A and B are shown apart, each in its own frame.
Chain A
């Protein structure tokens, strides 16, 4: 099943390169001789280091994608946006209340959202970005937390926002407020922590630590496995 050996032309910041068809922008740029310092992190769609904007000939639309997860296309003109200056509020999470007031105190600009939907259109994770800003405006922290959960903080939304909102920083504030102050604490976890602090398991662990490999192996092979 030999795939057809085709190449395509891409233009990295205006410079033309002939690269194999069917590879990601990241691998194509490397093939063309680039060695990344910025613009490359996880190489797998998790870190948001590789936000890329591009246009195709004869199309006015500005397109966007992660260089590590977007395939090259013939005629693509591209540049990476590996960094975008962002406003990040500094707070003491413990002392905050999970309210609209808190969101507005740190990111008052969310009220400036024009509803232009640029952010949602551009998000490479296809998140409902405008929506999670709308829920934030209403103080619905839980909804903002869940809707923004898959955000990889690539910064592309903020680069397009006419209201100068840094959506992903609003998202993480909402998520941390939710995780710390709204989601109920795990009771079994707190109890286990108390038990450990009280030394409940120390003797058993001491005993295991003294065991020979053979003794441990026996115990291991005989252990029952939760279904």
Chain B
């Protein structure tokens, strides 16, 4: 419920609405955008990072939260744990039961592999489940994979790895068709044509969606299919370390049963990490949109095993996180709200940025509007700006919000705010890990027989991912990882299992006086606090 002061400020927004409906805010030039990012994007903030002292990326500056993790010691005693007692013995081990992991498991099973999927929470408790906005694919006549390539590159600051982007845009329509054939209910016109809209940084309307439950629809469909195919799933059993064999090949993982607190050995011929992102590290003390298990575990264990990281210093803040009400601060207001025409407006009822600039730019503009220009709207946690959602009803007709954005609408109505009639308050929130473990177009890492797919990987999106390219990424590279890992498994000969790499990493930490903390952290600890 809005405060009386907020209700008064809403009148200002209403007064300028008519005029703004006719108005298109000018887009940033390339130079303006660079300057805006340099001055206001959290990545560029003084003191937010420090150089990492250990491992393949030693010397690179990363946000403190990541450095803390990589400079932590293992949960397990590498000498004490017996690797002879094998609980699971499979061809392909998939770590992480989100979209990427489930797609990988399905494809690996299709290749005839014996697959085990282990996950930290329940199967499907994942960032994938939360994605509202949509998934990109260039499948309309006025669009092409080449345009999609250009958009993804431009969005990523041209840092993206070309082979990965090519795979992304080339496989995109194939993946949408795969999902369609699995019964995903994409929003379509009566003749079957996909309903597609813009997202930030797209040059064509190529965002496919399923109302605003796009990720949930994909996730539950894949999960249902995995259950139909009889894929073995072990829940509440996160991987806490990779296992190698004496030849240096990845050969499985040590699992930790969260409920019985036992360690279990899973041996596998190939391993796929699909553990998702890291929002729950609360980089910069920011609230986050991410699910409870987004704690970068996969990065930690892969790094100890010798895999290289890329662009982990580029964190994506989603420009529109909830700024009010307090109960849901930091949660996502999907970009689709802007895609459908809602503008960003300051305390005086004026626009200050073209609403569909790339996310880094919009976030920076909101921060500037509040910090430097002092035109934010005060909320208990700091500041917010208005997102003028009622414009959607004017542009697309009454009832559009409830129909197209039921999850959003419900989220606000629960707390007494009707976003179809009242604008909402937003502020940037920690959203996406742009970088991750470096992979190639086959989803391989530099560690033999270790694959990575999804948000845990890095390189696909350069330094800034576009909306709709991540749901796409998890399907494209989840499928590639599953298929390649299964084929590879057919020829793999495993030697004796070892945790030598963990022992050596711990030694190196000790030598440098590091390793006071333990990682992966598995779950955030909010005891005694009110979390963001």
Residues on A lying within 8 angstroms of B by beta carbon are 1-3, 20, 22-24, 27, 30-31, 33-38, 40-47, 49, 69-71, 88, 90-94, 125-126, 145, 149-150, 152-153, 172, 175-181, 183-190, 192-193, 196, 201, 204-205, 208-209, 213, 216-217, 219-221, 223-226
Return the contact of A186 from the options B5, B180, B215 (Cβ within 8 A): B180
> Considering the chains assembled together, what is the distance between the CA atoms of A20 and B220 in angstroms?
35
Would A225 and B203 be within 8 Å (CB), given that A46-B129, A190-B177, A193-B174 are in contact? yes
Name the segment of B43-51, B417-425, B463-471, B524-532 touching the other chain: B524-532
| Number of residues of chain B lying within 8 A (CB) of chain A | 92
> Considering the chains assembled together, what is the distance between the CA atoms of A216 and B227 in angstroms?
44
Would A1 and B326 be within 8 Å (CB), given that A41-B292, A188-B141, A223-B150 are in contact? no
Q: A35-B526, A71-B415, A179-B183 are in contact. List 12 more A-B contacts (CB 8 A).
A: A44-B289, A47-B126, A49-B122, A69-B414, A70-B414, A150-B410, A179-B184, A184-B190, A189-B137, A192-B138, A204-B146, A226-B142
Pairs A–B under 8 Å by Cβ, sample size 8: A22-B327, A37-B259, A149-B185, A150-B406, A177-B183, A179-B182, A186-B186, A196-B174
Residues on the B chain within 8 Å of A216, using CB: 150, 153-154, 158
Structural contact, B150 and A201, CB atoms closer than 8 A: no
Residues on the A chain within 8 Å of B192, using CB: 183-187
Closest to A210 in B: B162
Give, as a whole number of angstroms, the nearest-CB distance from A208 to chain B.
Answer: 5
Within 8 Å of chain A (Cβ to Cβ): is B407?
yes
Residues of chain B in range 510-532 having any CB-CB distance to chain A below 8 Å: 523, 525-531
Within 8 Å of chain A (Cβ to Cβ): is B380?
yes
Interface of A is mostly: loop
Structural contact, A150 and B213, CB atoms closer than 8 A: yes
Residues on the B chain within 8 Å of A27, using CB: 327, 526, 530-531
Give, as a whole number of angstroms, the nearest-CB distance from A71 to chain B.
Answer: 6
- Mask, B198-223, CB within 8 Å of A = 1, is 10000111000011010110001100
Residues on B lying within 8 angstroms of A by beta carbon are 3, 5, 30, 121-122, 124-126, 129-130, 137-142, 144-147, 149-151, 153-154, 158, 162-163, 166, 169-170, 173-174, 176-177, 180-186, 188, 190-194, 198, 203-205, 210-211, 213, 215-216, 220-221, 224-225, 227-228, 230, 236, 258-259, 289, 291-293, 326-328, 331-332, 378, 380, 406-407, 410-411, 414-415, 523, 525-531
Closest to B173 in A: A192
Structural contact, B183 and A20, CB atoms closer than 8 A: no
Interface of B is mostly: loop
Q: Which of A20, A42, A47, A187 has the most CB of B within 10 A?
A: A42
Residues on the A chain within 8 Å of B204, using CB: 226
Would A91 and B291 be within 8 Å (CB), given that A34-B527, A187-B193, A226-B198 are in contact? no
Residues on the B chain within 8 Å of A220, using CB: 150-151, 153-154
Residues on the A chain within 8 Å of B407, using CB: 45-46, 150
Return the contact of B230 from the options A49, A90, A125 (Cβ within 8 A): A90
Return the contact of B526 from the options A30, A44, A145, A219 (Cβ within 8 A): A30
Structural contact, B414 and A188, CB atoms closer than 8 A: no
Residues on the B chain within 8 Å of A69, using CB: 328, 411, 414
> Considering the chains assembled together, what is the distance between the CA atoms of A36 and B259 in angstroms?
11
CB-based closest 5 A-B pairs:
A184-B192, A176-B183, A41-B125, A179-B183, A180-B183
Give, as a whole number of angstroms, the nearest-CB distance from A83 to chain B.
Answer: 8
